Amino acid sequence: MSFENLNLIAPIMKALQTEGYTHPTPIQDRAIPIILGKKDLLGCAQTGTGKTAAFAIPLLQLLHGEERAGGKRRDIRTLILTPTRELAIQIGESFTAYGRHTGITHTVIFGGVSQKAQTNALRAGVHILIATPGRLLDLMNQGHVDLRRLTHFVLDEADRMLDMGFIHDVKKVLAKLPANRQSLFFSATMPPEIAKLADAILVNPEKVAVTPPATTVESIEQSLYFVGKKEKKLLLRHILDNPSVVSALVFTRTKRGANIVAGDLIKAGITAEAIHGNKSQGARQRALGNFKARRTRVLVATDIAARGIDIEELSHVINYEIPNVPETYVHRIGRTGRAGLSGTAISFCDTEEKEFLRDIQKLLARNIPVIEEHPFMQREAAPVARQAPPRQNRPHPQSGQSARTNAGGSRRYGRRRYGR
């Protein structure tokens, strides 16, 4: 399947060719025809699957048709609600790239900065508004945002909205939208509150579920350390004593855990910052900027907060805590080894996490190599590393390179071919 088979208009095809995109990712292949058919969509997909292009491309095409039929007025026709400043900016960049030949205009609004440039853009008129909930409500209350002619609404990263406490703001925005609209709802997971919200927003939606491929890239060197829970912080410092660990993205399961790990590293004289849903947008942006600029050596993150982070030449991913969802392991370690570069993924496993490890090894249809000798070895945990039976219908890890490329890849490699 190529983009030429999706009945896209010439201005968008020209932009995709400029970007170097040839083949749609699975979510793009399935979602674009649904959205072009003006149906509501429930998409279960994580960042890295090409989700942004899956809704940006068809929405640009629909708006291009609407504007040609309805004149040249610049009213807000599409609202895209996203939880963070960095995601809003990335989505805005995508609309710039894909819509450069369409004449469709957009602007991005978010908090933490002066509103003057944003209100000036709104006053000039835009077709697409990309916004974070707090700043949107603020500008709506000031009378700067008119949504009466809205025809399309996108709620992106819905579960992250919940994690960051934005659901009440989302509901306030929903109350102001026209009832007659097309709605697109994206979430990586579907906890009960998110499923209930989707039911309230969508009308007879088509459902598309795409998970990250259950394969790993050959260039990623994986290893496993059995260690007691209390000794994990000592093992982490021991690993970071190695100068080959230039930069490390460390994953915890909880926000509190991220804060504790970052604090321990700082006490040990290692530059570290935590990033999670309780941090302000400004704090997350600064932490990410410091990490990318190598001013911070270690970034400690929860899974939801790490979504959308695209860091080239990241040397190490460390699973300080084993994820309780096996696909999350694949998503985590895929942060390193990007663009064909080598990368290292290290996992710590205590006794309570053995069941999580079994599920991961079943998904991979292989064992993660165990580091047998280290100062904090927990030998009683080692038997979990027995050969796990392969899960049915899962691709073998040796096919990981092509599968990961189809999922969107990095900004430098996969994005040039497939889109975000």
Say which CATH superfamily domain 3-210 falls into: P-loop containing nucleotide triphosphate hydrolases (3.40.50.300)
Interatomic CA distance for residues 218 and 340, integer angstroms: 9
What are the start-end ranges of the H helices in 125-231?
A: 133-141, 158-163, 167-174, 192-201
Contact at 8 Å (CB) between 334 and 221?
no
Phi first, then psi, for residue 416 (nearest 5°) are -65, -25
Angle at 216 between CA 194 and CA 87, to 5 degrees: 40
Interatomic CA distance for residues 151 and 188, integer angstroms: 25
| pTM (two decimals) | 0.61
Q: Where exactly does CATH 3.40.50.300 map onto the chain?
A: 3-210, 220-399
* CATH level 3 topology of 220-399: Rossmann fold (3.40.50)
Q: State both tokens at 152.
A: 């399309």
**Residue of 175, 185, 165, 173 lying closest to 135 (CA atoms):** 173
**Residue of 274, 281, 55, 67 lying closest to 164 (CA atoms):** 281
Per-residue pLDDT of the chain (420 residues; tens, 9 = 90+): 789 889 999 999 999 998 888 889 889 999 999 999 999 999 988 666 788 999 999 999 999 988 765 555 689 999 999 998 888 988 999 999 999 999 999 999 999 889 999 999 999 999 999 999 999 999 999 999 999 999 999 999 998 888 788 999 999 999 999 999 999 999 988 888 899 999 999 999 999 988 655 444 556 899 999 999 999 999 999 999 999 999 999 999 888 999 999 999 999 999 999 998 777 767 877 888 899 889 999 999 987 766 656 676 788 999 999 988 787 888 788 778 655 566 899 999 999 999 999 988 887 888 999 998 888 876 554 444 444 444 444 333 333 333 333 333 333 333 333 344
